[in-house]
Structure 1
Amino acid sequence: MVHDPSARDDEYLSEDVLSTLGDEPTRTIIETLSEPMTATELSEACDIPQSTMYRKLDQLTEASLVTESTQIRESGQHTTRYELDFDEIAVQLSEEHTLTTKIDRPARESTADQRLEELWAQIREGT
């Protein structure tokens, strides 16, 4: 599932983020994602079965911790790459004694290629 970064507001459900971070395989994926990688590359690097990898990447994407981008190749084939979508996560206890998360995002400018990738991902999701 492709997460639309333009629709994101930075008030995330702490439960989703904390649940995702509480899972050892998702933490392994986060620790491995030093650069954009495909699910296959991550599966091999993390020693996680590919079917499990896709579920974990969906979980990370839904929690807005990882973004997907589609790389269109000259051959017409495309591949999906995943990358971290945060620089820092802080967990805070409010005065009402509820846990909240604050996520610092990297500053990104959208290039024409990235906008085309996002459009392609939206078209692919609609089919």
Structure 2
Amino acid sequence: MHSMSLEFSSSGDAPAFEHVVAALDDDGCREIIAILEEPMTAHEVAEATDRPLSTTYRKLDRLTEAGLVQEAVGVREGRHQKSRYVANLDRISIGLDDDNELRVDVDRAANLGLWSNIQREF
């Protein structure tokens, strides 16, 4: 199970612990995670959560920065390509490491590979 976990630290490319906690502390972000069972565009997320599009984009950015949501390959609609977002976690655990520093372990969703290269016509 540990191989599926990702340790976040303040250094390197991994999202900082603070980003994860801030996203989880945000009602709107939690609501988005709850509805993202399959890839959705920002417009669809805004509609489903009954929030303005500008707010939805800010929360999706926050979730993406925290590594809790991933932007899937865009879906072509005519000449335009729309990004879709999908939650990429099954479980988050917060605990102390060997140095008594708080750490976040995110168990990645097993089905993420299914969505990461999705391209469908609508």
Query: Which residue is equivalent to 1:84?
Result: 87
Residue-by-residue CA offset, 1:52-79 (whole Å, 9 max, x unaligned): 1001000000111101121124x33211
Query: Which residue is equivalent to 1:6?
Result: none
Q: What amino acid maps onto 2:68 in structure 1?
A: L
1:31/1:110 Cα in 2 relative to 1: closer, same or farther (>3 Å)? closer
Give how far 1:14 is off.
1.6
More strand by share: 2
Alpha-carbon distance in 1 for matches of 2:83, 2:98: 42
CA RMSD of aligned residues (A): 2.4
Q: What amino acid maps onto 1:57 in structure 2?
A: L
Give how far 1:109 is off.
4.2
Alignment coverage as a number of residue pairs: 106
Q: Residue 104 in 1 paired to residue 100 in 2? A: no
Alpha-carbon distance in 1 for matches of 2:114, 2:89: 16
Query: Which residue is equivalent to 2:7?
Result: 11
Taking structure 1 as the reference length, the TM-score comes to 0.72
Give how far 1:110 is off.
7.3
Unaligned runs of 5+ in 1: 1-8, 118-127
More helix by share: 1
Taking structure 2 as the reference length, the TM-score comes to 0.74
The sequence identity of aligned pairs, in percent, is 40
Q: Residue 114 in 1 paired to residue 117 in 2? A: yes
Q: Residue 72 in 1 paired to residue 76 in 2? A: yes
1:48/1:14 Cα in 2 relative to 1: closer, same or farther (>3 Å)? same
1:110/1:43 Cα in 2 relative to 1: closer, same or farther (>3 Å)? closer
Residue-by-residue CA offset, 1:41-61 (whole Å, 9 max, x unaligned): 111111111101001000000
